[in-house]
Amino acid sequence: PLKKIPTWKEQSAKHAFAESAAYPKIEAFNEKVSIFVGDITHLEIDAIVNAANKTLLGGGGVDGAIHRAAGKSLLAECITLNGCETGEAKITGGYKLPAKYVIHTVGPIGEQTELLQNCYRNSLTVAQENGVRTIAFPCISTGVYRYPNKNAAHVALTEVRTFLEKNASSFDRVIFCLFLEEDVYIYENLIKEYFPV
Ligand code: AR6
């Protein structure tokens, strides 16, 4: 039988962070992934990923929440970046967020698998290049951009697993930050397939 994957269901980010700090560091990549259910702007970690749009100048959904929580200095830095292509990723400071960095990636509009794969790969690469050891992803493209939730979860889990297989020592924790019940149901089932112990 598969060992149970540690999951975080706490709405309290402080509690989640305390758990993360207490969690023993284990080399196996499958010990490094977690589910967090709640608001990504509450996470006190190295980097949170933003599901942005090509302008990088803010929007609704998780993008709006991140800009509101980070304050206007985030927008000021984003203005200097001259936008971002779909599938690419760019890093900024976190400003008033408890996270040190925000990694902005632009998901595809609709189900364009390769572009969504690129979002995860490029975000993890940018994270690695900047010494980020703890990172959280929202469910990129599954809101306003309408990528089907379950298929998007397969992409997210595949890409994180593949990246960790090659670069396990670069990261202490990769968090799938889930905001909707539907995604909690999907990830709790699929994560066991991608990260068995
Ligand atoms: N914390 C974590 N996840 C959240 C939060 C939050 N605070 N708020 C929403 N989500 P979406 P997209 C979830 O629409 O589909 C913006 O206007 C949400 O429930 O934010 O990539 C951008 O500027 C869903 O599961 O991103 C772009 O124009 C997930 O985040 C466009 O939307 C992604 O939903 C990008 O669309």
pLDDT for residue 12: 37
User: How far is the C-alpha of 67 from the C-alpha of 97, rounded, in Å?
Assistant: 9
* Cβ(86) – ligand 1 distance below 6 Å: no
* Residue 108 CB contacts under 8 Å (≥ 6 apart), including other chains: 86, 87, 115, 116, 119, 141, 145, 147
Q: Is the pLDDT of residue 95 over 90?
A: yes
E strand intervals along 14-70: 33-37, 47-52
Q: What is the mean pLDDT of residues 151-164?
A: 95
How close is the Cα of 86 to the center of ligand 1, in Å?
15
Phi, psi of 93, rounded to the nearest 5 degrees: -70, 170
User: How far is the C-alpha of 185 from the C-alpha of 107, rounded, in Å?
Assistant: 22
Whole-prediction pTM value? 0.89
**Under DSSP, is residue 3 helix (H, G, I), strand (E, B) or coil?**
coil
* Cβ(148) – ligand 1 distance below 6 Å: no
Probe target for ligand 1 pocket from 37, 68, 119, 144, with the most ligand atoms within 8 Å of CB: 144
* Cβ(61) – ligand 1 distance below 6 Å: yes
pLDDT in tens, 98-107: 999 999 999 9
* Cβ(144) – ligand 1 distance below 6 Å: yes
What confidence category does residue 193 fall into, taking pLDDT thresholds of 50, 70 and 90?
confident
User: How far is the C-alpha of 195 from the C-alpha of 197, rounded, in Å?
Assistant: 6
CA of residue 81 relative to chain centroid, distance: 20
Look at the alpha carbons of 137, 138, 144, 149 in this order and tell me if their dihedral is positive or negative.
positive
pLDDT in tens, 58-67: 999 999 999 9
Look over the chain and give the mean of its residue pLDDT values, rounded to a whole number: 88
Q: Is the pLDDT of residue 124 over 90?
A: yes
What confidence category does residue 113 fall into, taking pLDDT thresholds of 50, 70 and 90?
very high
What confidence category does residue 17 fall into, taking pLDDT thresholds of 50, 70 and 90?
very low
Interface confidence (ipTM) of the complex = 0.99
